[in-house]
Structure 1
């Protein structure tokens, strides 16, 4: 199969492009980083530097399927940028796939569930919106609507908390927070959540490409992870103090909200040292129902979080 992978110079897209090529598919990788693109070419992939805000039709016409990993994936930013990069790009790409009869697997996020109040075995069928807890979540949900309207048979994956080799977001953020020495313990009780090793996310994407099934699919490692015990292990590995000073999460979330408001008064400023969304990720449990992915895609996690997190910790030093 000839597959276009967008966002291939990013974390998930890069891992997916390489894995699909190793599985025997012909992969065309796109992205904005020419250095990472050159690294992909050195491993035998075809790389095209592309700005997806333009017309995607020339990229889509020669392929059999598209894996859309490209996105503005951050907890901080301006709505016009989120809308342009996540909503409009996804809409145009889905429309181009529909016109060319090309299979589309679109990567979204379970962040769309965050404002629903449901935290255990969250199914894809739960109504979401119109309120979201971040601009990112709102933009990704609107992108899903555009994809489903243009291409009802598209597969939309919602992997939670991506981590693993090459991670540029989750673990690096936690490492910076621990090394700063300013991360308090936000709860006296443990918080259990689910994460997704990049290898498991790639596995789900490959299944969705090779044996098409339409609709929404939650994706995780399938096993809960204790957030604060994991942070303690991470601190021990880094040789930094474990978070010990307990500060109520509602105080920190309130302060982060005020800080965000102050930062937004100065357009172009970098991300605040702490955001309300980041606080919620550390203090609110969530597990996802994987029934649909298991039954319709045949998905079963290949990598257990004990193995995946041990791999990440081993690679830190």
Structure 2
């Protein structure tokens, strides 16, 4: 199969492109990072530099059987105009181009769309979402989903939660920075059970969606809850940093974060504050997802267990010290 992967110089897109190439597919990877593009070329992936804000989708889809849209502005902070330009508009344009060319589309979204629903346990894909979201990122990703569904109802939409693995540029690095700076307090005396997704599990779900196409939305995780704060302690140990000790009530810190956000919004440059309310909530609110639909319709089963995936990350961190 000839597959085009957007965001191929990013964390998930890069793993997806390499995994699909290893499975024997002919893969083209789009991205803006030329150095990472050269690394993709060495792995047998044809790199195409492209800015999705001005992409010639008709040209890029020529000779392609399927597209994996993994590119996104994936941050909890930013301007709405940027989220719209990077997440919503390109997703709709790509879906319309796929519909016109008869090309299969696997669109990568996020379970962050559930965060404001009040549902936290075994959350299903048919959970009503919106109109309120807990971040501009979540809102933009849901509106991107809507744009894809409107243009191409046969698209497969995946919602992997909390991507991690060696090469992660977001989840673990942010926690590591907070631990090393000594700024991360313990926000609850109780354990928080949540689910994450090892990046190879997400790539496996993408591969299944390409080879066993099934329209609709699918949750993706490692399939096993982990204790969040015990995992943070393990990360601190791997870094050689102190474990979070002092307890700060989550509600107090969330309120402080909201004030910081308000101040940042009023600043002409709108700089990212050192703390966001949605970031605090990620560390204090449990979340597990129902994987029944992915298991039954895609044949999904995690290929990496969370214990193994996290052990790999911690071993890598210790090896860099």
Question: Where does 1:136-151 land on structure 2 (aligned, <5 Å)?
Answer: 136-151=137-152
1:268, 1:200 → 2: CA distance?
38
Deviations 1:198-239 (A, max 9, x none): 000000000001111000000000000111000111111111
- Corresponding residue number in structure 2 for 1:15: 15
Question: Where does 1:1-317 land on structure 2 (aligned, <5 Å)?
Answer: 1-54=1-54, 55-317=56-318
User: Cα offset for 1:274?
Assistant: 1.0
1:266, 1:110 → 2: CA distance?
30
Deviations 1:154-202 (A, max 9, x none): 0000000000011000000000010010111100100000000000000
Q: When the two structures are superposed, what TM-score results if normalisation uses the length of structure 1?
A: 0.99
Q: Which runs of 5+ in 2 are unaligned?
A: none
User: Cα offset for 1:265?
Assistant: 1.6
1:293, 1:57 → 2: CA distance?
30
What count of residue pairs does the alignment treat as equivalent? 317
2:307, 2:46 → 1: CA distance?
34
User: Cα offset for 1:240?
Assistant: 1.2
User: Cα offset for 1:267?
Assistant: 3.6
| Residues 207-216 or 47-56, more deviating | 47-56
1:288, 1:268 → 2: CA distance?
37
Specify the SS of the correspondent of 1:283.
coil
Specify the SS of the correspondent of 1:53.
helix
User: Cα offset for 1:270?
Assistant: 3.5
User: Cα offset for 1:262?
Assistant: 0.6
Q: When the two structures are superposed, what TM-score results if normalisation uses the length of structure 2?
A: 0.98
2:238, 2:48 → 1: CA distance?
39
1:75, 1:122 → 2: CA distance?
21
User: Cα offset for 1:4?
Assistant: 0.2
1:75, 1:109 → 2: CA distance?
12
| Residues 28-37 or 234-243, more deviating | 234-243
1:164, 1:269 → 2: CA distance?
30
User: Cα offset for 1:269?
Assistant: 4.5
